[in-house]
Amino acid sequence: MQITSPGFKRNATRALGDEQLQKALGHVRSNFIDKRAAAAAALPEFEALRDNAKAIKDHVLENLDIYLETFEERVTAQGGNVHWAATASEARGHILDICRKAGARSVTKGKSMITEEIGLNSFLEKSDITPIETDLGEYIIQLRGEHPSHIIAPAVHLNMDQVRDDFKKAHTHLDANRAMDEPEILLKEARGVLRDRFLNADVGITGANFLVAETGSSIIVTNEGNGDLTQSLPKVHIVVASIEKIVPTLEDMSQIMRVLARSATGQEMSVYTTLSSGPRRPEDPDGPEQYHVVLLDNGRSEMIGTEFQDMLRCIRCGACMNHCPVYHAVGGHAYGWVYPGPMGSVLTPKFIGVDKAGHLPNASTFCGRCEEVCPMRIPLPKMMRHWREQEFEKHLSPPAQRRNLKLWAWVAKRPTLYRLATRIAARGMSVLGGRRHRLGWLPVASAWTKHRDMPTPEGGTFMAQWKGKR
Amino acid sequence: MSTPISVGLFVTCLVDMFRPSVGFAAVKLLEDAGCEVHVPVSQTCCGQPAWNSGDRADTREIAIEVIKAFEEFDYIVAPSGSCGGMLAKHYPELFQGDPVWHERAETFSGKVHELISFLTDVMKVERVSSKVDASATYHDSCAGLRELGINAQPRKLLASVEGLSLKEMKNSNVCCGFGGTFAVKYGDISNAIVTEKTANIEAADADMLLAGDMGCLLNMAGKLRREGKRTEVRHVAEVLAGMTDTPPIGGKRE
Amino acid sequence: MSREFILERIKSRQKVDGDDSDRRRAVEKRIAEHAPGILPAVPGTRVKRLKQFIDKAEAAQASVSRVSEQSMGKALVEWLRDHNLPAEVRMSPDKRLDGLRKQAEKKLTIKPAPGDGSDIVGVSHAECGIVETGTLALTSGPDNPTTLNFLPENHVVVLREKDVVDHYEDIWPRLRKRFGERKMPRTLNLVTGPSRSADIEQTLILGAHGPVRLHILLVRD
């Protein structure tokens, strides 16, 4: 997909002025937050489970090489195939090979952010294979030629009237005058259209929420059931998963499962949690004849042992963006690549380069709400700060900003000079503010006064007054 | 009687420059609680602007000066959750791997507290003796809330202010959009966030908006005045100390 | 190639020395022990745990009928009638459904699973039910084809009270016993309520791609 992260500021300003988007984001601002809070409060063990979930993933990351080998061995033992991909292009190559060998023309897809990361859909289309997104939200945005704006609610940036118009345009085989004014009707229509696609697909591609080393199982967690139809009806099931999805045992998976849905949608449990292990067995009446797992690295292994390792605990629940004031304001597309919100602000610089994605880790107030709700206790603000440090070290931050910062730091390290400077500034601004005690416009702070007044200082500094009093 | 508890007051750069009243309110509250208050003259800033801009080297140099100036006191107290969080949580992180300074920073950080929580949690202050006839709504500043766990403490002391009634706003724990340099670097986004905040403040229908951090207060006051809303803005310490004769932050509505 | 590249890079980043036999042993041990972690509290008595199972399933918009071994057929027929559904079901060949088949065959057309996607009602037998969240566990195989859990708009699942367990962690030992250590059926479905989507304006609608209704016939021991 086209990267627009360097234009984050422009994207953001456009998003702030987009009425449809702002209306749609209203749902994120309340729904997800209240539901998560209720689900967390209803489970007394929730905080302890978060600690344990973190410990499990930390253990995995310390032994990831061995767990991956173990996983591979179990998949193979059950008749499946594992394909290793160091890069996105390798992963696409593996998938295309499998599809070609199966003579595939149409591919159904369960919701998968990894396939967004590797740009699979456009690649398959160029190779004359039709990818069909089957998650309702993904289906809608595929019709619109868009990308997900949220990792678990891909069409959260849209309102019903937009979906209705898209369906009208796309489903030309249906009566043009049909009733379409309820979400139920639209859902039913999509169900009908997609049912045929499910039954006729040659290959089904899903992501994975977990990979269990103990049994070689891949797990998807969904609500619609589309992922299950995707992976049980076609002859070939391809799982595309990144290497950090590994958990040691079924028991470990159960622990993390308990914090996943609660953090994501506020459900105690998503409707469908499905474990797939290998292809159908000889006696099975249904299920795929082939089972492939494409294991994608795409730079993740480079994060191990660095200040970004904690990010590999991420289970893609979306809680960080659901609670992020910046995401609430601008939505997911403004971030300009696959992963939005705080998790995206940490991941995107890794994937597309901090030179392109530098805005993202800077566009945070460090309010810390993301870390507060992250089920895996990932210190997201700390990692965003690490990116800022890299930018500073590489001289990527704007020169004027650097100069101001350096000047300020130079003065801050010289108390006598600092005292003098602050006294002059405080006095000067105070005089300007006068009895209104504020300024509507201040040349050096125009970015501030564009939107709000600048309260002016009371007069003398505290330090000067203190010296006078004591 | 044993020697009084010595407290080094970390004034914070914004209080020093914009709102000395908060500094004096802090001194009063600390002295009322029985502390001996010291104000080292060599203090400037906690280094947060550099820290959050990725400038580790400058932050470290500033931090060393702060530690040197304050480590002699029993406690270091700041009328800010943000600066308090910087001193208490981030200083040790800054010296990770430094055999001398890491330990020194750890010891220093262990003595740092935000003003209000210091009064309630360390000095066991149960009530204050001020009187303010007004209603107030309280904004939980992010760093204080999430880094230092400040939530019940200010509400508890505010409840003891004679004549004051507390009216909770919706989403009091959601960021006001300040975020230090964020407010300037991403002004449009910051504006969207603070606009939501001031709407919640107005809906709470209180005479006063209180919070424990000057950064957030300047931001919210600036927006409230720009929008012509009536709520007056003060640091929570001013109300607890009964020092509300000064004009509110950003003045009053005209 | 990529396999070795990825594994080597992980190893080099982990900063571990060449000999990883200790780590290997630790991993083997952890997998062999598969120790359960934190288990959320469940009510103290069996009666209350069954009630929680039902409450949780209903909270997830499933419906539950408590039936006896003899009244399964009647309950199924009534449920179909109450929901204006045709007297025709697609039923899994699971032997544990034989009783139900016999009881209902006079009043219903019973077709053998799996179906072709055109069925209105599917009937399966669950491996277990989980008290914790009102979840059903269904295993694939000739007895209970997986596609039957998803294709029909209405899914009726027979569950025995004795198969109602407290936690997800209680499923795994049962599967290990049945399929062997480190082996699994092709598919295990954990199902909590009927299919749904909230992708349009965050409005929750039941019946996305899977069943619109999930009905559990909970059979008394």
- pLDDT for the residue A421: 95
- Do B31 and B75 lie in one domain? The reply is yes
Task: Answer yes or no: do B91 and B15 share one domain.
Answer: yes
The set of residues, in sequence order, having a beta carbon less than 8 Å from that of A28 and lying 6+ positions away, is A150, A153, A156, A321, A322, A327, A328, C202
Domain-embedded: residue B143: yes
Positive or negative, the CA dihedral C23, C28, C33, C39 is positive
Domain boundary among B56, B91, B121: B121
Residues B95 and B131 in one domain: no
Mean pLDDT of A396-410: 92
C147 and A CB contact within 8 Å: yes
Average pLDDT over residues B60-77: 97
Q: Which DSSP helix (H) or strand (E) runs through C160? A: strand C154-160
The most distant pair of C-alpha atoms in chain C lies apart, rounded to whole Å, by: 71
Domain of B217? Answer: 127-240
Residue B1: predicted pLDDT: 53
B251 in a structural domain? no
- Is B44 in the same domain as B106? yes
Torsion angle defined by CA atoms of residues A282, A284, A289 and A293, in that order, rounded to the nearest 10 degrees: -100
C170 → chain A, closest CA residue: A251
Q: Rounded CA gap, A283 and B95, in Å?
A: 63
Strand ordering across the sheet containing B75-78: B35-38, B5-9, B75-78, B112-114
**Domain match, B146 and B172 both:** yes
For Cα atoms B86, B91, B96, give the angle at the middle one, nearest 5 degrees: 145
Confidence of residue A468 (pLDDT cuts 50, 70, 90): confident
Q: Are B159 and B166 in contact (CB under 8 A)?
A: yes
B17 vs chain A: nearest CA distance in angstroms? 5
User: Is the separation of the CB atoms in A449 and A417 below 8 Å?
Assistant: no
Is B254 domain-assigned? no
* C147 Cβ contact partners less than 8 Å away, ≥ 6 residues apart: A229, A232, A233, A286, C114, C115, C117
Residue range C99-128: mean pLDDT, rounded: 93
Place of tokens 């990883």: C20
Nearest CA in chain B to A26: B196
Please write the tens of the pLDDT for every residue from A279-300: 999 999 999 999 999 999 999 9
| Mean pLDDT value of segment C112-116 | 84
From the list A396, A350, A347, A393, the residue with the least C-alpha distance to A370 is: A347
User: CA of C28 to nearest chain A CA: how many angstroms apart?
Assistant: 9
Is C205's CB within 8 Å of A184's CB? Answer: yes
Q: What is the dihedral of CA A397, A398, A399, A402, to 10 degrees?
A: -50
Residue C88 has pLDDT above 60, yes or no: yes
Please answer yes or no on whether C202 and A155 come within 8 Å at the CB atom.
no
Nearest CA in chain C to A280: C186
Task: Measure CB to CB from residue A392 to each of B55, B177, B250 and give the nearest one.
Answer: B55
**Token pair of C31 as six digits:** 């997998």
Residue range B151-155: mean pLDDT, rounded: 98
Instruction: Check if the beta carbon of residue A277 is closer than 8 Å to that of residue A285.
Output: no
Instruction: State the SS3 of A374-394.
Output: CCCCCCHHHHHHHHHHHHHHC
pLDDT of A450 > 70? The answer is yes
Mean pLDDT of C125-131: 98
Q: CATH code at B182?
A: 3.40.50.11810
The answer, yes or no, to whether residue A104 has pLDDT greater than 90, is: yes
Residue B109 sits in the same domain as residue B159: no
Q: What is the pLDDT of residues B7-26, one digit of tens each?
A: 999 999 999 999 999 999 99
Class of domain A48-138+201-301: alpha beta
Number of other residues whose CB lies within 10 A of the CB of residue A7: 15
| Residue carrying the six token digits 């760093």 | B143
- Check if A49 contacts C (Cβ < 8 Å): yes
Q: In this structure, are B98 and B190 located in the same domain?
A: no
Q: Over the stretch C8-59, which tens digit does the pLDDT of each residue have?
A: 999 999 877 778 899 999 999 999 999 999 999 999 999 999 999 999 999 9
Domain identity same for B152 and B226: yes
- For residues A308 and A349, give the distance between their C-alpha atoms in angstroms, rounded to a whole number: 11
- d(CA C112, CA C127) in angstroms, rounded, equals 19
Q: Is C2 on the interface with A (CB under 8 A)?
A: yes
Chain A segment 128-147 residues within 8 A of C by beta carbon are 134-137, 140
pLDDT for B184-240, tens place per residue? 999 999 999 999 999 999 999 999 999 999 999 999 999 999 999 999 999 999 999
Round to whole Å and give the CA distance between C81 and C86. Answer: 8
CATH class assigned to C43-219: alpha beta
Chains B and A lie in contact, requiring 3 or more CB pairs less than 8 Å apart: yes
Residues of A with Cβ-Cβ distance to B43 under 8 angstroms: 415, 463
Q: Are chains B and C in touch, 3+ Cβ pairs below 8 Å?
A: no
Q: What percent of chain C has pLDDT over 90?
A: 91
Together in a domain, B49 and B105: yes
Q: Where are the domains of chain C?
A: 43-219
Q: Token pair of C38, please?
A: 């934190």
The answer to whether A287 faces chain C, any CB pair under 8 Å, is yes
What stretches of chain B adopt beta strand conformation (E)? 5-9, 35-38, 75-78, 112-114, 131-138, 162-166, 208-211, 232-235
Query: Is C146 within 8 Å of A276 when comparing Cβ atoms?
Result: no
What distance in Å separates the CA atoms of residue A415 and residue C17, rounded to the nearest whole number?
Answer: 50
pLDDT of B169 > 70? The answer is: yes
Q: Across all residues in chain A, what is the average pLDDT?
A: 96
The token duo for A467 is: 């010296």
Size of interface A-C (CB pairs under 8 A): 267
Q: Do B50 and A405 touch (CB under 8 A)?
A: yes
Asked if A334 and A12 count as a contact pair (C-beta separation under 8 A), the reply is yes
Q: Give every CB contact of residue B166 below 8 A, 6+ residues apart in sequence.
A: B135, B136, B137, B138, B155, B158, B159
Question: What does the pLDDT read at residue C162?
Answer: 97
In which band, very low, low, confident or very high, does the pLDDT at A445 lie, cut at 50, 70 and 90? confident
Shared-domain flag, residues B179 and B231: yes
Domain boundary among B102, B121, B140: B121
Q: What percent of chain A has pLDDT over 70?
A: 100
Residues B43 and B67 in one domain: yes
Mean pLDDT of the region A30-43? 95
- Across the interface, of A63, A90, A224, the residue whose CB is closest to C2 is A90
- Predicted pLDDT of residue A1: 85
- Contacts with A283 from chain C: Cβ below 8 Å: 141-142
Name, of A135-144, A399-408, A435-444, the range with top average pLDDT. Answer: A135-144
- The whole-number pLDDT of residue C113 equals 83
Q: How many domains does one find in chain B?
A: 2
Chain A hits for C177, CB-CB cut-off 8 Å, are none
**Residue A99 and residue A101: Cα distance in Å, rounded?**
5
Average pLDDT, integer, range A38-55: 98
Q: Give a yes or no: residue B135 inside a domain.
A: yes
pLDDT tops 80 at residue B2: no
CB contact under 8 A, A455 and B189: no
**Where does A201-302 have alpha helices with state H?**
226-232, 250-264
Same domain, residue pair B135 and B206: yes
Mean pLDDT of all residues belonging to chain B: 97
> What is the C-alpha to C-alpha distance for residues A7 and B60, in angstroms, rounded to an integer?
32
Tell me how crowded residue C104 is: count the other CB atoms within 10 A of its CB.
23
Tell me, rounded to whole angstroms, the distance of Cα A352 from its chain centroid.
15
Domain boundaries, chain A: 1-42+319-397, 48-138+201-301, 408-469
Alpha helices in A171-323 (DSSP H): 183-200, 226-232, 250-264, 319-322
In this predicted structure, the answer to whether residue A364 has a pLDDT above a threshold of 60 is: yes
Residue B185 lies in a domain: yes
